[in-house]
């Protein structure tokens, strides 16, 4: 499923939020509530939904005045019977009568007044034509952008700092109505976990808190940088689920730290133009608002917003120092309400810079609050990221710190830090609920209803059933559960039972396997794999970095195209396919494998495989003289090198998943056939190389580029030639062809490309109806040039009696000079999760029994 890796990791977040949401919703919170004396107000634009900064609210008869902050929020005393007058420059005055029915969380909308003077604040400027020519705000921003090079810390030979970060996840916006049921008298531990959030003044229920202390070091010559994790602590519900650690990893990647001084800001697995980036002048509208002081520093306050409100960008306020440095002193910004981002209701950022004794301005505060609306029927979630950067130094850094190529390393004691360590390094104290997280989770795990909910969530997320208990960790997991029943052309209905051991049984030795039975063939199949891990993984040997030696014995049935499937071939959802997969073979395979990954992304692999292969179904092996071949026997040695600099991973119980798709991937493999080794019949050499890179295009989305090339250098029968990657599922996948038949082409030379462009709604957002639907455009173009050299061509007269070659199946073809091409046009983000792609085959369309057009699908949780 295209891009399934990304889909699964986002799903982890949603399901875990869902777990807590349902737990809260099932019991209906109770609070002994004496009504708060204050009302919490939000001042927003009636047309755009954006917050209005620095609005004023006045009880005129009482002579009480209140001012909103940069995010348009303020607390107001409740005075029933009085009239609250709300004003903001560029908006019409609004009067609100306060009564007993006035809610404590009050949203006040203001209507823009085009009659008010333009040029005072941003809101009025919206109503007139914006011009960049002779605009003082634009000229100032040009100077700010140009000044970035002068203030860049990388001008120093060395620098370092410590970064403390706390990420809290919680159920958000628990209203007074939710807190009135007496049922919660029986669960005081849940009631005690509810607290007021200081960032939005709403009641929240924290369920996870993650703390990290990282030392960042930089060297100019030779250029190098490293992040050394000194301490890491994770508390909360994620510890109850084995793959729950993935939640914290995913959240940190989605809501990652932002660097205002970068041209593009990586956030929500997308890219947003920075308000002081190289493209800021053309992307944003800027307005000089006022001259203010920030902690005694004189600053020019500018407001900014995307030129087109539908583009992925920010709106907010920049505070630029009114001196020659032109450095940003402070930035408050948010995602505009009109931005077509999924699941994010509000998202606000606060960055502050401070001046060091050396005269350098450095980032010291980087906070973020994201309020999420996952679905209409679930409560909301909130993610709070608090980051403080301290202890800046420009002194020379010892050479030994830069040893090794890994950009991220962990102190050996990072995950074993005690409370004294965290008390020393925290820049902000834990709240009461955060500090009592362990006790909260323990009490929750004792609740009967929660136990059943947890079991269901585990099975849904992990696709495995644990055999352990609360006090005894699982030593054997049963699964994958979605492979219990499946179907294929040869076996008909197929049953399978699978299981594997965990690190809780032995931290180095792991066993996994399955037994399967085909009801049509009445054949028994099995797989048994024994793995030794040189590391001590927390749960499975697939955890980064993989350093394993394994032996596997496997007897089963498959088709040549099954090796290109993204999913397990026995996945129950693969029982229905858009094409007939009738060419199959039985195999009996033994494989010895070695894998060693470095901490910096280089992986070396070694596989020694011997295999018996018997055709079945519609697949037949015939020699050139027409005599049948009952079986193939082959033994091969495969060496591989793969380099993924900067890639990070999360581990599910099924497979290891990449956290992001930004890291480039370089891969080179060579396979050597060994004749007469364990009865092998063939000598051959096959080489393949591949490359992947994502290129960001700012507000125009991103390009995914894949290039692959390979050659079978030797004379071999067609089962050992190179078959293009055929996708026989209903799900579009970038690395394979959707409308090519199984074993339709064979080559001994090939060059393959795939270019996929996700426009992120750039065009649809300008069409009123489609903008409301939040649909997004997707275009892909893929193709392959293939060649079959004379020595492997069974149709040439000189090869008619060749004893090494086999006849091609009747519907297998040789590519000519024309490449095979496919185009994909997709509408994504339908109902926020569904992708529908139209696929068109552009070449080799005259062959019989092929599909020229097709519809493919995908399910992808994206922001």
CATH number for 709: 2.40.160.50
Same domain, 432 and 559: no
**Does some domain include residue 13?**
no
Are residues 321 and 413 part of one domain? yes
Same domain (yes/no): 268, 359: yes
Residue corresponding to tokens 């539908």: 310
Q: Tell me, what DSSP letter sits at residue 552? A: E
Q: Evaluate whether 24 touches 179 at the Cβ level (below 8 Å).
A: no
For residues 483 and 391, state if they share a domain: no
Instruction: Sort 441 into a burial class: Cβ within 10 Å, 0-12 / 13-18 / 19+.
Output: buried
By C-alpha distance, which of 104, 112, 134, 131 is closest to 50? 112
| Cβ contacts of 559 within 8 Å, gap of 6 or more | 488, 581, 583, 584, 585, 617, 728, 742
Same domain (yes/no): 189, 314: yes
Residue 46: predicted pLDDT:
73
| pLDDT, position 182 | 54
What range does the domain containing 436 cover?
141-445
Flag whether 831 is in a domain: yes
Can you tell me the distance from the alpha carbon of 53 to that of 350, in angstroms, rounded to the nearest whole number?
14
Q: Copy the structure tokens of residue 268.
A: 């929500």
Tell me, what's the pLDDT at 237? 78
Report the alpha-carbon distance of residue 777 to residue 780 in Å, rounded.
10
Could you give the number of structural domains in the chain? 3
Residue 4 in domain: no
Q: Compute the CA torsion angle 64, 65, 66, 70 (nearest 10 deg).
A: 180
Q: Is residue 25 part of a domain?
A: no
Same domain, 397 and 257: yes
- 624 and 688 belong to one structural domain: yes
Q: Give the residue among 41, 27, 366, 378 at the shortest CA–CA distance from 183.
A: 27
Q: Are 515 and 554 in contact (CB under 8 A)?
A: no
Residue at token pair 């395979």 = 589
Residue 223 lies in a domain: yes
Q: Are residues 146 and 111 in the same domain?
A: no
- Judgement on whether residues 375 and 502 belong to the same structural domain of the protein: no
CATH number of domain containing 68: 2.60.40.1120
Residue 24 maps to a domain: no
Q: Which of 88, 122, 156 is the last residue of a domain?
A: 122
DSSP 620-668: --BBTTS-B---EEEEEEEEEEEE-TT--EEE-SS-EEES-S-S-EEEE
Strand partners, 592: 551, 608
Domain co-membership, 468 together with 436 = no
pTM, to two decimals = 0.76
Of 411, 445, 479, which marks where a domain is finished?
Answer: 445
C-alpha 402 chain-centroid distance: 29
Low-confidence ranges of the chain (pLDDT < 50): 1-16, 18-36, 114-127, 244, 377
In a domain, 806, yes or no: yes
Rounded to whole angstroms, the Cα distance separating 464 from 645 reads: 31
Is 476 found in the same domain as 441? no
Last residue of one domain, picked from the residues 87, 122, 157 = 122
d(CA 684, CA 676) in angstroms, rounded, equals 12
Q: Are 193 and 433 in contact (CB under 8 A)?
A: yes
Instruction: Tell me the C-alpha distance between 173 and 217, whole Å.
Output: 40
Report the C-alpha dihedral over residues 519, 523, 527, 528, rounded to 10 degrees: 120
* Backbone dihedral region for residue 192 (phi beyond 0: left; psi -120 to 50: alpha; all else: beta): alpha
User: Which of 688, 719, 708 minimizes the C-alpha distance to 812?
Assistant: 719
For residue 753, give the 3-state DSSP assignment. strand
Assigned domain for 26 exists: no
DSSP structural state of residue 247: H
- Is 241 found in the same domain as 178? yes
Task: Show the CA angle centred on residue 723, arms to residues 718 and 725, nearest 5°.
Answer: 165
pLDDT at 652: 66
Instruction: Specify which residues 550 forms β-bridges with.
Output: 531, 593
Is the alpha carbon torsion for 806, 812, 815, 821 positive or negative?
negative
How many angstroms separate the CA atoms of 179 and 734, rounded?
49
């Amino acid at each position: 499923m295209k891009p399934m890796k990304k889909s699964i990791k986002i799903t982890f977040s949603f399901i875990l939020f869902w777990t807590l949401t349902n737990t809260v919703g099932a019991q209906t919170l109770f609070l002994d509530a004496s009504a708060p004396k204050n009302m919490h107000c939000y001042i927003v634009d009636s047309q755009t939904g954006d917050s209005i900064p620095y609005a004023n609210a006045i009880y005129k008869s009482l002579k009480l005045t209140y001012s909103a902050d940069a995010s348009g929020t303020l607390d107001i005393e409740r005075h029933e019977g009085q009239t609250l007058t709300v004003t903001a420059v560029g908006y019409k005055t609004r009067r609100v009568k306060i009564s007993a029915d006035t809610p404590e969380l009050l949203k006040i909308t203001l209507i823009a007044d085009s009659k008010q003077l333009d040029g005072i604040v941003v809101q009025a400027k919206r109503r007139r034509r914006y011009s960049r020519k002779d605009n003082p705000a634009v000229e100032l921003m040009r100077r700010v952008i140009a000044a970035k090079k002068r203030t860049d810390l990388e001008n120093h030979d060395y620098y370092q700092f410590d970064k403390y970060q706390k990420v809290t996840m919680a159920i958000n916006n628990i209203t007074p109505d939710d807190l009135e049921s007496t049922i919660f008298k029986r669960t005081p531990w849940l009631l005690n976990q509810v607290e007021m959030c200081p960032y939005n003044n709403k009641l929240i229920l924290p369920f996870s808190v993650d703390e990290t202390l990282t030392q960042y070091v930089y060297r100019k010559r030779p250029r190098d940088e490293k992040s050394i994790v000194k301490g890491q602590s994770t508390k909360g519900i994620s510890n109850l689920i084995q793959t729950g650690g993935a939640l914290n990893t995913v959240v940190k990647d989605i809501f990652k730290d932002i660097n205002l001084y970068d041209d593009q800001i990586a956030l929500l697995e997308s890219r947003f133009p920075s308000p002081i980036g190289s493209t800021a002048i053309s992307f944003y509208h800027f307005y000089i608002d006022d001259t203010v002081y920030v902690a005694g520093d004189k600053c020019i306050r500018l407001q900014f917003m995307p030129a087109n409100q539908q583009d992925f960008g920010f709106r907010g306020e920049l505070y630029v120092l009114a001196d020659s440095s032109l450095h940003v002193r402070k930035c408050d910004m948010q995602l505009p309400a009109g931005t077509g981002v999924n699941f994010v209701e509000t998202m606000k950022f606060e960055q502050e810079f401070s001046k060091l004794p050396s005269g350098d301005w450095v980032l010291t505060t980087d906070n973020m609050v994201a309020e999420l609306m996952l679905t209409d029927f679930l409560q909301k979630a909130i993610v709070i990221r608090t980051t403080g950067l301290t202890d800046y130094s420009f002194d020379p850094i010892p050479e030994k710190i830069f040893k090794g190529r890994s950009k991220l390393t962990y102190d050996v004691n990072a995950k074993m830090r005690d409370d004294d360590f965290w008390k020393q390094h925290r820049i902000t104290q834990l709240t009461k609920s955060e500090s009592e997280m362990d006790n909260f989770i323990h009490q929750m795990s004792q609740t009967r209803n929660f136990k059943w909910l947890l079991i269901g969530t585990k099975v849904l997320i992990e696709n495995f059933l644990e055999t352990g208990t609360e006090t005894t960790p699982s030593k054997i997991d049963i699964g994958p559960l979605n492979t219990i029943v499946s179907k294929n052309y040869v076996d008909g209905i197929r049953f399978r039972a699978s299981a594997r051991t965990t690190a809780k049984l032995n931290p180095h030795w792991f066993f996994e396997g399955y037994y399967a039975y085909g009801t049509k063939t009445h054949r028994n199949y099995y797989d048994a794999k024994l793995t030794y891990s040189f590391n001590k993984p927390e749960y499975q040997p697939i955890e980064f970095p993989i350093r394993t030696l394994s032996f596997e014995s496997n007897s089963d049935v498959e088709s040549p195209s099954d090796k290109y499937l993204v999913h397990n071939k026995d996945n129950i959802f693969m029982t229905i396919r858009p094409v007939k997969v009738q060419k199959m073979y039985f195999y009996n395979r033994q494989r010895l494998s070695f894998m060693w990954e470095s901490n910096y992304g280089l992986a070396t692999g070694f596989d020694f495989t011997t295999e018996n292969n018997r055709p079945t179904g519609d697949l037949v092996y015939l020699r050139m003289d027409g005599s049948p071949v009952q079986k193939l026997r082959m033994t091969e040695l495969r060496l591989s090198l793969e380099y993924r600099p900067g890639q990070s991973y999360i581990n599910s119980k099924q497979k290891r998943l990449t956290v992001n798709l930004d890291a480039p991937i370089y891969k080179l493999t060579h396979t050597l056939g060994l004749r007469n080794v364990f009865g092998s019949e063939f000598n051959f050499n096959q080489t393949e190389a591949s490359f992947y890179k994502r290129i960001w295009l700012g507000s125009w989305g991103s390009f995914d580029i894949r290039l692959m090339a390979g050659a079978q250098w030797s004379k071999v029968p067609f089962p050992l030639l190179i078959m293009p990657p055929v996708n026989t599922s209903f799900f579009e996948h970038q690395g394979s062809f959707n409308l090519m038949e199984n074993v339709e082409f064979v080559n001994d030379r090939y060059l393959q490309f795939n270019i996929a462009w996700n426009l992120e709604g750039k065009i649809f957002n300008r069409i009123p109806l489609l903008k409301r639907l939040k649909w997004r455009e997707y275009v892909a173009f893929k193709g392959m040039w293939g060649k079959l050299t004379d020595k492997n061509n069974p149709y040439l007269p000189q090869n008619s009696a060749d004893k090494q070659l086999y006849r091609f199946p009747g519907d297998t073809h040789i590519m000519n000079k024309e490449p095979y091409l496919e185009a994909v046009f997709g509408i994504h983000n339908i109902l926020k999760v569904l992708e529908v792609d139209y696929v068109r085959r552009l070449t080799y369309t005259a062959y019989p029994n092929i599909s020229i057009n097709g519809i493919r699908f995908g399910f992808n949780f994206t922001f």
